[in-house]
C-alpha cells in the first residue's frame, strides 16, 4: 500500500467518524472510522520510514590520495 492508499484510509476513516450519522446494527461506524484512521496513520509512518531509508545518500568520495615520489639527488 502506497502513500496514496494510506491517505485514502485516513480520509475515509475521518468521514466515517465525523461526518456520518448512520446507525448500523451490529457495527459501530464511528469505531470503524477510528480503526481506518489508525491503520492509515500507521501505514503512513511505515511508508515514510522505509522511504527515508531508501533516500539515504552515501557520503561523497574522499579526495584521491596522491603520493609524490620525491627523489633528492
- The pLDDT tens digits for 49-58 are 887 766 667 7
pLDDT at 22: 86
Do 40 and 9 touch, CB atoms closer than 8 A?
Answer: yes
Diameter of the chain by CA atoms?
100
- The pLDDT tens digits for 4-47 are 999 999 999 999 999 998 888 999 999 999 999 999 999 999 99
* Distance of alpha carbon 27 from alpha carbon 31, whole angstroms: 8
pLDDT at 13: 96
User: Per the structure block, which three cell numbers stand in for 15?
Assistant: 468521514
**Which residue ranges make up each domain of the chain?**
3-54
pLDDT at 64: 79
* Distance of alpha carbon 53 from alpha carbon 56, whole angstroms: 6
Q: Does the global pTM surpass 0.95?
A: no
Amino acid at each position: 500500500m502506497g502513500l496514496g492508499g494510506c491517505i485514502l484510509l485516513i480520509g475515509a476513516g475521518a468521514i466515517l467518524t465525523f461526518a456520518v450519522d448512520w446507525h448500523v446494527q451490529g457495527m459501530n461506524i464511528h469505531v470503524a472510522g477510528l480503526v481506518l484512521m489508525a491503520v492509515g496513520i500507521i501505514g503512513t509512518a511505515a511508508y515514510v520510514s522505509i522511504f527515508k531509508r531508501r533516500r539515504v545518500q552515501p557520503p561523497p568520495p574522499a579526495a584521491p590520495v596522491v603520493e609524490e615520489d620525491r627523489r633528492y639527488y
